[in-house]
Structure 1
């Protein structure tokens, strides 16, 4: 059969596009179809390195997992990573091509981006039966329609039918649906074959009069109402979702994660929330750091500016003091901050030049302008300090960073077998000294034995019994959530538009 495309668009950001795409990938791959996700242009600070050593948004990685396939850079040909001052790093086919402001990208680069999108779409269509496409934001941004690279322009390019999803949890769901239809022209409206109402809590009978009226107004059916399910635990794409995660869980062990102004790859922390007795608290300027059992400094899209923020708010001083008593762990940019200084005299990341670090590890990071390291990586824990009992344990992750880190009188954390680590030619990654450690390996806590060892240290500090290494609740929960998501959609949505599409 020839390839078919279905597209999920939303009445707004966070309406549920990503998860509905994941559900459709799961459902139809289990029915025997070759299914692939696609998002032409994504703006996200949560990204991942594929086995091709290319960078794509984390949402497409989850969707590929749902489809049971390996993620590819063709599933997200254009990725925009916001930096500062209305500038984004532009990544095409998984590799950075430069930093651009809005006008440079939308006017000067748009044609190049569109060609990359076409190439990737054709690549997927030649290999899969069904392409499930995710839109971005809303298709009704009328000020941007002529520059669209993510919604209706892509629907026409792919000859895709569109399912419009709307979030009832935020209120005004019928107005958002009707408003979207009203603001689209007839050519765009004709692509929409049905509407899905997402995140519903309540009595469906009460909603029915509104559903009947909105079907009259739009002329398309409401294909389903998807219930809000608290049991679903899937990675978030947008840092805006962190507003809902100020404090999750009521475990006795409290891990404080510094919410940097330019935080990125915060899904690195997700597995900790699945550890028994552990709760994660996001720490902002002015928040108390007392009663924490560990501090994690995550990745950032601008190490130097966020390091300055830590100094100016007093968080740097508090972290330095607490490092005498509790573990402090840095990931990527967070690892760079733990050193003596960060040197950027060439202004490759900012105009601030050299900035003093927290001084908790005897190392120095230098930005040289040699380009971004993008790699899937693995290696072996060396041991020492906080991880003295984990020597020889194998870990894997992925690297997305600029800058190289030179160690002084401090032990590296990982012997790198694949990847770059501290220096571009590989060898060793991270550093560890007493209670303080850091790594360039994103996803380090996705390694079950590494995570369990770390949280067992915290348990023992609290006088709790350490846990065994017999079951990875994070991995089990992720699999359960994907299966549960597919079940919810199958039970509450009319899938006939997709089924009919596949019959033709």
Structure 2
């Protein structure tokens, strides 16, 4: 049936960053999907180092991937047409429709690239309208940044482009919630204020009766109803969007197996570590650059947006020598940029990564990495484990992941971790990763999302501590993620008056 141009677009904006926009979009995607609608999440412009490769071989922010999962649809670059990945010195790599468009500073992006960005955003909105019943749009930061209103690419400019009604989310946990709501309304032009149809107060921990007089007054002040108050829920286990949130989780879990994770200065794709948190007896210890590594049972070097600069930072902090020392006793595992750091050399003659140029690695894996030889690798990948090192019992096991890297690594293939079936790997010659005793690494993000691979890694640590291996039972991570999405949707429906939001859906042509 040919649809008319009346697709409902609902937009979630916030009074600040981290107000709860992303979780509100995730909840609505799940709610609408369960009602039988074909729903798509959308964020016009996301600044994040946590990204994913879609099956289009396109790079988008991880938050939109989770939202697509909640909606029960395949992620697409149209759900996040612009992704900004901070690099260094106020430079970001700009990803447009899933592919790199270049490294740009803020001035160049806002003044010379803005029209191209708007065109890409509008193209994606129109593409989603062709295929979906409902589009749930996430804003960024606050719509009331008055110094940026004429440069907006993420809030009211997008609401106008999509003709979307707006729900405003405010975080009460940080204090000043009513001032933030009133301030947002007072700073917006009348046209934009009129788009806001409701308010949600998020992260509430107290007695709702005490809050109600303030709710009634703010409704009178701004002339818009408060649709609900969402409780703070520590039990929700969903991937974090921003690396800044890692500071709240110095230790994750309370098990006897302690896995240290280096918080590299430019850490990226830190959701690679999430599945380890759900191992029943594992504690994740996040190690800052000025911390002591301390007593850990295994160590992970995660992805980084700039492996050369972060390698230099590791050496300056003293962690590099400690990692080399620990590698003789405990497993050390590197992912993508962390994998490159474990090698003998990173060649960057053209300063593609940083001002440092070529830098000697930690020398724990016999690989050399070069930048500038290929375009950025963006692909979903899979391959067969070669059965090396602690993964000897998994020889022939299929593992899946995704690749996002600009360097290529040369290696003696007899030392490779994975024989590539689909993907690029080290250097497009059919192998990925490397193993050397207790040290190993891979370019495949999401490697620990493979249950048998993850459990083999943690069981090796358990065994070395004299603990009983757990074996291959239930994948607690996938179960917890699914249940958390369902719980989030239920909490939202139980605490938010959906009538105003539902009114937007009445005229859908199905």
- State if a TM-score over 0.5 links the two structures: yes
1:468 aligns with 2:474: no
Structure 1: stretches of 5+ with no match in the other structure: none
Quote the residue 1:56 is aligned against: 60
The answer (yes or no) to whether the contact 2:264–2:289 under 8 Å persists in 1 is: no
Report the CA distance between 1:386 and its aligned residue: 2.2
In the other structure, the counterpart of 1:249 is 253
Asked if 1:76 corresponds to 2:80, the answer is yes
Secondary structure of 1:231's counterpart equals: coil
Tell me the CA shift for residue 288 of structure 1. 2.5
Give the conservation status (yes or no) of the 8 Å contact 2:385–2:399: yes
Q: Are residues 133 and 163 of structure 1, via their aligned partners in 2, closer, same or farther at CA, if it must alter by over 3 Å?
A: same
Q: CA deviation at 1:468?
A: 2.7
Q: For the residues of structure 2 that align with 1:416 and 1:410, how far apart are their CA atoms? A: 13
CA distance in 1 between partners of 2:471 and 2:315 (Å): 39
Q: Is the 8 A contact 2:257 2:283 kept in 1?
A: yes
RMSD: 1.0
Distance in 1 separating the partners of 2:429 and 2:152: 41
Q: Distance in 2 between matches of 1:185 and 1:417?
A: 54
Matched, 1:163 2:167: yes
Mapping of residues 225-304 of structure 1, within 5 Å:
225-304=229-308
Bigger mean CA offset, 460-469 vs 61-70: 460-469
Paired residues, what number?
503
**Which residue among 305, 311, 316 is the counterpart of 1:307?**
311
2:504 counterpart SS class: helix
2:212 matched residue in structure 1:
208
Alignment match of 2:19 (pick from 9, 15, 24): 15
Residues 398-417 of structure 1 mapped to structure 2, 5 A cutoff? 398-408=402-412, 411-417=415-421
Residues 1:66 and 2:32 aligned together: no
SS in structure 1 of the partner of residue 264 of structure 2:
coil
Q: For each residue in 1:68-92, what CA deviation from the matched residue of structure 2 results, as whole angstroms up to 9, or x when unmatched?
A: 0000000000100011111110000
Please state how far the C-alpha of 1:285 moved relative to its aligned partner. Answer: 2.5
**Residues 18, 134 of structure 1: 8 Å contact kept:** yes
Query: Alignment partner for residue 181 of structure 1, among 185, 207, 210?
Result: 185
Cα deviations by residue, 1:76-130 (Å, 9 ceiling, x for unpaired): 0010001111111000000001000111100100000000000000000111111
- The question of 1:355 aligning with 2:359 is answered yes
Conservation of the 8 A alpha-carbon contact between 1:418 and 1:426: no
Does the 8 Å CA contact 1:49/1:400 hold for their aligned counterparts? yes
* CA positional deviation for 1:410: 6.0
Distance in 1 of aligned mates of 2:7 and 2:45: 21
Matches within 5 A, 1:331-480: 331-408=335-412, 411-423=415-427, 425-480=428-483
Equivalent position of 2:110 in the other structure: 106
Larger CA deviation: 8-17 vs 344-353: 344-353
What's the CA shift for 1:369? 4.8
Structure 2 residue 508 is matched with structure 1 residue 499: no
* Contact 1:362–1:409 (Cα < 8 Å) also in 2: no
Report how far residue 22 of structure 1 moved: 0.6
What whole-Å deviation, never above 9, does each CA across 1:410-456 have from its counterpart, x for those lacking one? 60000000000000x24000000100000000000001110011011
Worse overlay, 347-356 or 138-147: 347-356
